[in-house]
Amino acid sequence: MYKNSKKAIIALEDGRVFEGYSFAADGERCGEVVFNTSLSGYQEILTDPSYKGQMVVMTYPLIGNYGVNHDDTESGEISVESFIVKEYSSIASNWRSEKTLADYLKENGIIGIEDIDTRALTRHIRTQGAMKAVVSTMDTDVKRLVEKARASKGLVGVDMVREVTCGEQFKLNEGGEFKVAVLDCGVKSNILRHLVSRNCELTVYPADTSAETVLGDDPDGIFLSNGPGDPAGAPYVYENVKKMLGKKPVFGICLGHQMLGLAMEGETYKLKFGHHGGNQPVKDLSTGKVSITAQNHGFCVDVDSLKSKNVKITHINLNDNTVEGMESAELKFFSVQFHPEAGPGPNDAVYLFDRFIDMMRKDP
């Protein structure tokens, strides 16, 4: 256990309580508690904007052993509300390490808790579903904490995109061959790296930018990024996406995929405990090939709501048969629910970025 640690409590809205010890900042946070099955990559997980409003439980038992560095962040700040592990390693041993995980969390005011029975907590979430919770190192009144959890706002119907999108548009790799408009709903840095490495000039727009503005800049293609929370909570995004369809090649990832579903007048729904981790099997229905993918989402496109639309389902999740990809040749888009850029996770699906490049190259 981390030295000088302080007692910490996780209180779930259904009354279940877990006790552990703090290894980072003190305080109290509300959020939705979810679990992540990745074996490594905790720094990328911490800085993934898709986790805004959520507390992350790592199922791998030892976290922190290789420290953190300035290169492996996926955004400019930590997005998780708190970080929950079985055992924190105060010894960081890696040639790239610049500081310990505890110091990194403290600098950013993030609560880190260890000595939690993460297996029991994970099993509870799998059985009962992801739920609202409070993490506190300040208050030991369990009853009061449970009531705070129940009274917190949760994620359903809430616009989390505005909390993570960029403040103003900016460019990357000016002079690149393909001009790509990136609608930033919480884009990960590794997505931008993959596009830049394929010689794309990127113009990154705030999520509430109008379709007229984006199309008026005459991009070769439009990329819809990942992001946090309930897609239905940000109608301004999918209403603008609807106006872009059929005009330029469009590629959507994760929340961008869900926004395309809503733009097609389909529906989304909340998964019981979501998909969070680097080991999700996804089948490509056109080839039969199975890829192991990185995922981070709590909502999903309802396949039945798209049956009357001009949309082809391209991928499914082999764990629960949920929609993992779709396309429309007529409307010039394709999308996936998973993260082909990984960071962290396997690289089985990075070919999808090349498919986007081919679409732009062939578009008249």
> Using an 8 Å Cβ cutoff, are 291 and 284 in contact?
yes
Instruction: Please tell me the distance from the alpha carbon of residue 150 to that of residue 300, in angstroms, as a whole number.
Output: 24
> Using an 8 Å Cβ cutoff, are 259 and 252 in contact?
yes
Polymer length in residues for the chain: 364
Task: Based on the residue annotation, tell me whether 339 is a catalytic residue of this protein.
Answer: yes
In the structure encoding, which two tokens stand for residue 95, read together? 């040639």
Question: Looking at 30, 200, 254, 300, which residue is catalytic?
Answer: 254
Q: Which residues contact 141 (CB under 8 A, 6 or more apart)?
A: none
- What one-letter code names the amino acid at 158? V
> Using an 8 Å Cβ cutoff, are 52 and 74 in contact?
no
> Using an 8 Å Cβ cutoff, are 27 and 137 in contact?
yes
Q: How far is residue 354 CA from its own chain's centroid?
A: 22
Cβ–Cβ contacts within 10 Å for residue 352, how many?
A: 19
In the structure encoding, which two tokens stand for residue 153, read together? 């706002």
Task: Based on the residue annotation, tell me whether 114 is a catalytic residue of this protein.
Answer: no
Question: Looking at 32, 44, 87, 341, which residue is catalytic?
Answer: 341
In the structure encoding, which two tokens stand for residue 214, read together? 């984006």
Question: Looking at 275, 297, 315, 339, which residue is catalytic?
Answer: 339
Instruction: Please tell me the distance from the alpha carbon of residue 188 to that of residue 164, in angstroms, as a whole number.
Output: 11
**Residues annotated catalytic, as ranges:** 254, 339, 341
